[in-house]
């Protein structure tokens, strides 16, 4: 919306600059969360007398500490993200709408899951199969949309201007990237502040990548594939960062609210979509390596137990394994944050190592 003011000239020329609008998106989303956060928490507490249902097979200290804490805090994140994005982004850019489409749809799926869990006072919400099918549908629509905008190609890190034409395999591949990202963040969300900070770090990383990929000058210098208009995703990344910081204010230990599937699925879907648009899907695997570790720990645990009857980890996802080993929650969270920072730096390094 503000982007249109640039046509007025004068001081409004500032709205032409991505960096200015990205900064505005960060501040706007953060302020929205700060202002409306307390009211949202009070409303959710009133509706959720027992708070988020906690897995009974988890560490006893975890069950006691988390009991009664309301979930669906992702609504706060989405409020800040959407309002900020609609105010600061160039709404004529189709990539903005693709990301918001996936974010909103994944958020709706997560909200339905959270709502059923709370109303039924059970850790079971929407069936796993139904959730997965709905996510695949949303991902496929977004992938088809993007194929018409950017082409059915895959870029490889470390190689200059090298693209693989995936043809009919592009849409399934892009769909899986988006769906994986949503569920990987969802699996990581289990301790106070554990998921939101790596999401902020990943969003900042892809904000930089989008800015560089969307610039013909910088992309040519770095030897990365140029995607016209992708720079606008930096504004959306800024909105995610601002909303994430605002949410973290209330999610910092001891958490006053959890993001739930409403937040984790939508944020992961947004990151996956940005990776597909910028053609840095493989780099997402590096930047989001922490999410990979959490996902793989669950897969390994399930496969091992079904095949051998034995568990590789004391509990999955991975953060619960360390809880069971006696690590303090802040220790796990901060060490995982450090890992997320290291992986983000490694992901950014691929831009130059070509």
Separation CA 215–CA 234 (nearest Å): 12
pLDDT of 223 above 60: yes
pLDDT of 50 above 60: no
Q: What's the confidence (pLDDT) of residue 66?
A: 62
- Rounded mean pLDDT, 33-43: 95
- Rounded mean pLDDT, 32-59: 77
Confirm whether pTM is higher than 0.85: yes
pLDDT digits (tens, 9 = 90+) for 99-115: 999 999 999 999 999 98
Identify whether the C-beta of residue 329 lies closer than 8 Å to the C-beta of residue 319. Answer: no
Q: What's the confidence (pLDDT) of residue 55?
A: 53
Separation CA 58–CA 105 (nearest Å): 30
pLDDT of 281 above 90: yes
- Residue 110: CB partners within 8 Å, gap ≥ 6? 74, 186, 260, 261, 262, 263, 264, 265, 266
Identify whether the C-beta of residue 174 lies closer than 8 Å to the C-beta of residue 139. Answer: yes
Rounded to 5°, the CA angle 198-204-207 comes to: 140
pLDDT digits (tens, 9 = 90+) for 162-189: 789 999 999 999 999 999 999 999 999 9
- Rounded mean pLDDT, 5-33: 87
Ordered by start, the domain boundaries in the chain are 2-281
Q: What's the confidence (pLDDT) of residue 64?
A: 47
Backbone angles phi, psi at 197, to 5 degrees: -70, -45
* Look-up of token digits 């999955």: 316
Q: What's the confidence (pLDDT) of residue 206?
A: 98
pLDDT digits (tens, 9 = 90+) for 51-75: 555 555 555 555 545 667 888 999 9
């Amino acid at each position: 919306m503000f982007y249109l003011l640039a046509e007025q000239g004068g001081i409004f020329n500032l709205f032409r600059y991505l960096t200015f609008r990205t900064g505005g998106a960060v501040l706007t989303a953060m302020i929205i969360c700060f202002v409306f956060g307390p009211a949202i928490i009070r409303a959710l507490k009133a509706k959720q007398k027992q708070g988020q249902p906690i897995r009974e097979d988890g560490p006893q200290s975890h069950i006691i500490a988390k009991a009664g804490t309301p979930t669906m805090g992702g609504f706060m994140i989405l409020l800040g993200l959407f309002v900020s994005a609609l105010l600061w982004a160039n709404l004529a850019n189709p990539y903005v709408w693709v990301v918001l489409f996936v974010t909103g749809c994944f958020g709706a799926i997560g909200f339905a899951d959270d709502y059923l869990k709370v109303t039924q006072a059970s850790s079971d919400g929407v069936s796993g199969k139904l959730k997965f099918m709905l996510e695949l549908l949303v991902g496929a629509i977004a992938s088809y949309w993007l194929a018409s905008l950017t082409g059915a190609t895959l870029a490889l890190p470390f190689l200059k201007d090298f693209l693989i034409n995936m043809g009919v395999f592009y849409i399934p591949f892009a769909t899986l990237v988006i769906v994986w990202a949503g569920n990987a963040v969802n699996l990581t969300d289990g301790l106070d502040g554990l998921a939101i900070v790596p999401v902020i770090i990943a969003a900042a990383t892809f904000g930089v990548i989008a800015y560089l990929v969307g610039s013909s000058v910088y992309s040519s210098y770095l030897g990365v594939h140029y995607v016209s208009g992708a720079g606008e995703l930096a504004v959306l990344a800024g909105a995610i960062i601002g909303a994430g910081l605002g949410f973290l204010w209330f999610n910092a230990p001891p958490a006053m609210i959890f993001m739930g599937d409403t937040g984790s699925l939508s944020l992961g879907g947004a990151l996956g979509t940005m990776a597909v648009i910028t053609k840095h899907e493989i780099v997402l695997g590096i930047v989001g390596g922490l999410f990979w570790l959490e996902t793989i720990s669950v897969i390994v645990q399930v496969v091992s137990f079904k095949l051998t009857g034995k568990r590789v980890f004391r509990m999955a996802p991975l953060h619960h394994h360390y809880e069971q080993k006696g690590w303090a929650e802040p220790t796990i969270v901060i060490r995982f944050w450090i890992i997320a920072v290291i992986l983000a730096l490694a992901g950014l390094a691929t831009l130059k190592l070509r």
